[in-house]
Amino acid sequence: MNLFKRIDWRLLVIFVLVAVIVHIVATFLAVNDQRGTAYARLANVLPHNTMTIVGPVDTQQALLPYLSPDARYAFCPFDTADRAMRVHALLPDLGWTVGVYAPDGTNLYFAAASSERETTINLSIIPADDRFLGLSSEAPQTGDTDQTIAAPKGFIVVRAPDRGDPYRTETQSVLEKASCSVRRT
């Protein structure tokens, strides 16, 4: 009974409340930490607004975690602060995909190749703000694109299946045709 009389219950309750508050704040800070995101990694290593074909996935030096070693990748970190972006990619066969992702990893656009025909992706990425892009004759023309999405920044991923040595040069040449560039008015 002496032990319960010696404990300062107010101090114990205050300690528990402070521990709960610190835990909640640390959880929210950890969730909002954007330093280790895929976008941050790509933006620090690859040139912006340029499609870059990366080498085969190596488990020792992976550009991003969880990339499949049986695929080849091309990445393009983009920023539409200056102008709209134009993305072009050819998806010749099953397994080929193109995705556009926001910096937080949200999927903004995704397309996969069809087994029956070659798929050509023509995409415009415009700024996500309410910026005036000029009168119709001054605004970027979208007649040569199939789709338009709005995003301030993010990254584009073109994924190609690695079908082995006999097909590597063909895969490389199709990946080299993928592009992302600032739209010229």
User: What digits encode the pLDDT tens for the residues 9-37?
Assistant: 888 899 999 999 999 998 888 776 666 67
How many Å is the Cα radius of gyration of the chain?
Answer: 24
pLDDT, tens only, 131-181:
555 544 444 444 444 789 999 999 999 999 998 889 889 999 999 999 998
Give per-residue burial for 60-80: e unless 16+ CB within 10 Å, then b: eeebbeebeeebbbbbbbbbb
143, amino acid identity: G
pLDDT of residue 135: 47
DSSP 138-171: TSPP-TT-SEEEE-SEEEEEEEEE---GGGHHHH
- DSSP E strands in the chain: the ranges are 52-53, 71-79, 85-91, 97-101, 107-112, 119-126, 147-150, 153-161, 179-182
Average pLDDT over residues 35-41: 76
pLDDT of residue 131: 57
Sheet holding 107-112, edge to edge: 52-53, 71-79, 153-161, 97-101, 107-112
Q: What is the CA 127 to chain-centroid distance, rounded? A: 16
| C-alpha torsion angle, residues 123, 124, 125, 130 (rounded to 10) | -140
Residue with the larger pLDDT of the pair 62 and 140 = 62
| Helix extents (H) in 57-182 | 168-177
The pTM of the full predicted model, rounded to 2 decimals, is 0.73
Per-residue pLDDT at 98 exceeds 90:
yes
d(CA 26, CA 29): 5
